[in-house]
């Protein structure tokens, strides 16, 4: 089969690989569509140590080709989606409800990080009964693709933000995860959503996805503006959805005492530590909560994400800006690296 692989720092390419073999609890899926993620770009820059030849990607859907002997809930021919995070469902971490930390720190993230990713003609899903979900008939591949990571992660940011019903939320950056966090904040009952974003195309999408107002950080002090808009005391919840030290600090600074800072940005390029602005953190005594989240996986959560699309609570497809065939995957990936032509999410079909 053909697969898109990491070939050393800042090098990628399409390679030939053997089709994956299903172990007793696994399924092999024939890929029908994928999205490319900014975290694949971070990975290729060498943020996490990977063997050369490791297949990239974690946002793919397809049709079940084969299942292992223990798999009961799925069979060949089922059209399925699977989260980027694929926990085992059995270990202590999973049983405590922290499935993204399956087996240990960040251990639920298995595609690319621990084994072959799914930007490939076929891919393996571990613990298939726990992780696979059938895609409802009325949903397109394009809609279902967004459950794999963008919706799961962006909505997790809102779920972890402890938003009071009718409360105020600031969402820092409106890339695809930030846009989903904006939509998620609305779905979680926020009464006032402030998106912080400088790019006009993303500002427009933020409004479409439910932001009441967009603050442009290049136009002045975004933190002061967020605090002013929230009535002078700061927002109830702030979401960091880009993974930059400055937005992490801004999220702490614009949150009211007692509020919650929810981080889903990936700080892989920030070095070994982030700073907490102490005056705004009450020198440690402002009752502010900082949470950092990797989205949970598992069938039950994925079913709920699909239901939000089915019942028209949310349509993720305005985020698809470009379409490619898998034979053009290298060009699609290069565009994600350079962010040229306003690319937000490229959809790859097979
Ligand atoms: Zn992703
Ligand atoms: Zn586990």
For residue 227, the CA-to-ligand 1 centroid distance in Å is 31
Residues with CB under 5 A from ligand 2 (ion): 87-88, 91, 94, 102
The whole-number pLDDT of residue 270 equals 87
pLDDT of residue 46: 87
Gap from CA of 41 to ligand 1 centroid (Å): 10
What gap in Å lies between CA 212 and CA 200, rounded to an integer? 15
In 3-state terms, what secondary structure has residue 328? helix
> Which pLDDT score, from 0 to 100, does residue 289 have?
98
What is the Å distance from ligand 2's center to 92 Cα? 7
| Whether the model pTM is above 0.75 | yes
Per-residue pLDDT of the chain (350 residues; tens, 9 = 90+): 999 999 999 999 999 999 999 999 999 999 999 999 999 999 999 888 899 999 999 999 999 999 999 999 999 999 999 999 999 999 999 999 999 999 999 999 999 999 999 999 999 999 999 999 999 999 999 999 999 999 999 999 999 999 999 999 999 999 999 999 999 999 999 999 999 999 999 999 999 999 999 999 999 999 999 999 999 999 999 999 999 999 999 999 999 999 999 999 999 888 899 999 999 999 999 999 999 999 999 999 999 999 999 999 999 999 999 999 999 999 999 999 999 999 999 999 99
Instruction: Please return the burial class of 311, using the count of CB atoms within 10 Å of its CB with bins 0-12, 13-18 and 19+.
Output: exposed
**Predicted pLDDT at 40:** 94
CB 85 within 8 A of CB 73: no
Spacing, Cα 86 to ligand 2 middle (Å): 9
54 CA → ligand 2 middle, Å: 23
Q: Give the closest ligand to the alpha carbon of residue 154.
A: 1
Q: How far is the CA of 128 from the centre of ligand 1 (A)?
A: 20
Residue 39, token pair as written in the block: 């975290």
| In the block, residue with structure tokens 């009441």 | 212
> Nearest ligand to the C-alpha of residue 130?
2
Tokens of 304: 């709920």
Around Cβ 117, how many Cβ atoms within 10 Å?
Answer: 28
Indicate the pairing of strand 168-172 with strand 235-240. Answer: parallel
Ligand 1 mean position, distance from CA 207 (Å) = 23
Give the ligand whose atoms come closest to the C-alpha of residue 40.
1
* Residue with tokens 């959809």, as numbered in its chain: 347
Residue 141, both tokens:
């591949």
Name the packing angle between helices 245-253 and 222-229 (round to 10°): 30
Nearest ligand (C-alpha, residue 180): 1
Instruction: Quote the ligand 1 centre to 299 CA distance (angstroms).
Output: 18
Residue 263 DSSP symbol: E
Instruction: Tell me how far the alpha carbon of residue 102 lies from the centroid of ligand 1, in angstroms.
Output: 18
Query: Which H/E stretch holds residue 13?
Result: strand 12-16
Distance, CA 96 to ligand 2 centroid (Å)?
Answer: 9
């Amino acid at each position: 089969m053909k697969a898109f692989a990491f070939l050393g720092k800042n090098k990628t390419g399409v390679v030939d690989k053997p089709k994956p073999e299903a172990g007793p609890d696994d399924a092999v899926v024939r890929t029908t569509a994928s999205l490319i993620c900014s975290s694949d770009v971070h990975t290729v820059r060498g943020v996490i140590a990977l063997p050369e030849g490791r297949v990239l990607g974690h946002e793919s859907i397809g049709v079940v080709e084969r299942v292992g002997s223990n798999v009961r809930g799925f069979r060949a021919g089922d059209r399925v989606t699977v989260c980027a995070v694929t926990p085992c469902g059995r270990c202590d971490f999973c049983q405590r409800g922290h499935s993204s930390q399956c087996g240990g720190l960040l251990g639920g993230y298995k595609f690319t990080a621990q084994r072959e990713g799914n930007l490939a003609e076929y891919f393996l899903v571990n613990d298939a009964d726990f992780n696979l979900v059938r895609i409802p008939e009325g949903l397109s591949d394009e809609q279902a693709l967004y459950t794999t990571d963008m919706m799961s992660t962006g909505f997790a940011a809102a779920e972890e933000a402890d938003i009071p019903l009718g409360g105020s939320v600031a969402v820092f950056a409106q890339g695809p995860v930030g846009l989903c966090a904006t939509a998620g904040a609305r779905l979680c009952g926020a009464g006032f959503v402030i998106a912080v974003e400088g790019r006009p195309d993303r500002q427009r999408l933020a409004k479409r996805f439910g932001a009441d107002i967009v603050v442009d950080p290049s136009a002045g002090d975004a933190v002061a503006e967020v605090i002013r808009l929230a009535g002078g005391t700061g927002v109830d919840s702030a979401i960091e959805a880009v993974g930059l030290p400055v937005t992490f600090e801004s999220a702490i600074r614009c949150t009211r005492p007692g509020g919650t800072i929810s981080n889903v940005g990936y700080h892989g390029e920030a070095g070994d530590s982030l700073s907490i602005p102490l005056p705004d953190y009450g020198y440690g005594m402002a009752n502010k909560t900082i949470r950092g989240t990797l989205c949970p996986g598992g069938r039950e959560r994925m079913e709920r994400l699909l239901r939000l699309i089915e019942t028209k609570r949310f349509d993720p497809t305005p985020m698809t800006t470009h379409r490619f065939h898998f034979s053009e995957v290298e060009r699609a990936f290069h565009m994600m690296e350079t962010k040229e032509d306003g690319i937000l999410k490229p959809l790859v079909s097979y």
